[in-house]
Amino acid sequence: MCGILLALPAPAMAAPMSITGPASVSEAAGVATYTVNCGTGALELPNTGALTVAVADGPAPATQAADYGTPSQPLLACTAVTTSFTVDVPITNDTLDEASEKFTVSASGALVPEGAVSQSVTTTIIDDDPVASIDAVVLVTEGDSGTSAADLTVTLASAAIQATTIGYSTEDFSATSGSDYTATSGDLVIPIGQTTGTISIPIIGDTTPEEIAEAFFVNLLTTDNGSLNPTKKQAAVGIYDNDTAGLPTVSVVKTATVEEGDRGTANILFNVTLSSAATQRTEVGWKTTQWTATAADFDPASGKVVFQVGQRSKSISVDVKGDRRDEPDEAFAVSLQNPVAATLGTKDSIGVIEDDDGPKMSIGKPKLRGKRLVTKVGCPESADGCKGRLVGKSAKLKLGRKKFDLASGEEQKLKLKLSRKARKALAKKRRRAKLIATAADSSGDKRITKRRARLKRLR
């Protein structure tokens, strides 16, 4: 009798009601869109019934009245035909600079055959409103004719996802528009994704001696995106008159030196001086340039030296990195640039990093040969020569000494003559020997190198 096997379908799986939506949305997006699926119950029967869609503040609150609105479909009717819905929640785009905020969208109700249901999704509103600020102080030299530009940088605290327009205008202080500078107002546009923009104000040159320095203001007035920093929305522009007699000359010392050191950092100081004491705020920029010294030897840097009224001498400090490498002296440059209320004199200086590391000798394994202790010593190729002596010891027992004078990269076998006392002691038992090489290079920098080894008993 034959039997017939029938393949039965697997039991249908229920698909619960669900709501999905964005984890985050930009404040400028306009809406956040969510999808509600009614789901199915047992035997894949579609859920039917009513769902309520609601929004609530939190968990890190947004405020419905200020940050988002009510859902586009607050009530949903699930049927065998209509099984999913799209719901939009309006997002309010404001000009406040604020932290990111969160709200929760939920769908809940009673469905047949699934029963009571409740699902939710939390969305973070990402703020897109940057804070704008302007350089506090900008200094320019007047010039003798035509115009030059005073450039002021406006900075956004964060890059905007939309173009930002910032209104500005100039304001007289001790400088007068029309004779010292050109009165300017307008709108600065910072493009999408950028964080800075530049406002240029024309400075009028002349040959008439005036006050040592005159000033005017540039004020940020409005922004269509974000806000203005209340403490950094005004810049002062100082105009230095170059028509007064005897602007001082600013110069840097021609050379400066420092010993490298074995670890950490040392400071090499470059003296910067004025030919006469400053009668107004005076400044000069500076920067370093690598020569034989690289970033492994010093910290490349740049900056500005500022002289207040009555001052004549300042210094530039550059960090030099210590190491234990035996190497030639190395150098880098410091250059002065862009003086204000001064003229350049000696503008370039050489910083010399003096190596203070003697050569590290190589010492071979010592061996006893008759009445002598024999080993090999070597001078590293990084040194320009090695001159010194090798001393052998075993506890308080002296094992002899030998001088050496080696060229760079040279090796030499040294034979230390053993005293009768040393030979007698070595004949009794095995001992540990310590070899000490004291070597100096041509500059006189010294280093002590040691090696320990066990010696066979002398026969």
Residue 4 pLDDT more than 60?
Answer: no
pLDDT at residue 327, as a whole number: 62
- The full DSSP string for 198-221 is EEEEEEE--S----SEEEEEEEEE
pLDDT at residue 182, as a whole number: 93
pLDDT tens for each residue of 410-437: 999 999 998 888 888 887 777 788 898 8
pLDDT tens for each residue of 367-392: 888 888 899 999 988 778 889 999 99
pLDDT band at residue 8, thresholds of 50, 70 and 90? Answer: very low
Residue 64 pLDDT more than 70?
Answer: no
pLDDT tens for each residue of 343-372: 999 999 989 887 766 788 899 988 888 888
* Bridge partner residues of 140 (DSSP): 239
Q: What is the largest CA-CA distance in the chain?
A: 127
- The full DSSP string for 307-376 is E-TT--EEEEEEEEE--------EEEEEEEEEEESSEESS-EEEEEEE-------EEPPPEEETTEEEEE
Q: What residues contact residue 73 under an 8 Å CB cut-off, 6+ apart?
A: 53, 85, 86, 87
Q: What residues contact residue 156 under an 8 Å CB cut-off, 6+ apart?
A: 130, 131, 132, 164, 190, 194, 195, 196, 226
131-240 belongs to CATH 2.60.40.2030: yes
Residue 87 pLDDT more than 50?
Answer: yes
Mark 40-60 as b/e (b = at least 16 C-beta within 10 Å).
bbeeeebbbbebebebeeeee
End-to-end CA distance of the chain: 104
Residue 275 pLDDT more than 60?
Answer: yes
Q: Say whether pTM exceeds 0.85.
A: no
- Domain residue spans in the chain? 18-126, 131-240, 249-354, 362-455
CA dihedral 329, 333, 334, 336 (to 10 degrees): 150
Select from 275, 358, 355, 285 the least CA-distant residue to 316. 285
Residue 59 pLDDT more than 90?
Answer: no
pLDDT at residue 7, as a whole number: 46
> How many CB atoms lie under 10 A from the CB of residue 334?
23
pLDDT at residue 244, as a whole number: 52
Amino acid at 454: R
pLDDT tens for each residue of 309-320: 999 999 999 999
Residue 1 pLDDT more than 60?
Answer: no
pLDDT at residue 9, as a whole number: 52
Compute the average pLDDT of residues 283-293. Answer: 91
Architecture field, domain 249-354: Sandwich (2.60)
Three-state DSSP class for residue 89: strand
pLDDT at residue 238, as a whole number: 83
18-126 belongs to CATH 2.60.40.2030: yes
Task: Give the burial class of 432: count Cβ atoms within 10 A of its Cβ; 0-12 exposed, 13-18 middle, 19 or more buried.
Answer: exposed
List the CATH code of the domain at 362-455.
2.60.40.10
Compute the average pLDDT of residues 325-341. Answer: 83
pLDDT tens for each residue of 191-214: 988 989 999 999 988 766 555 567
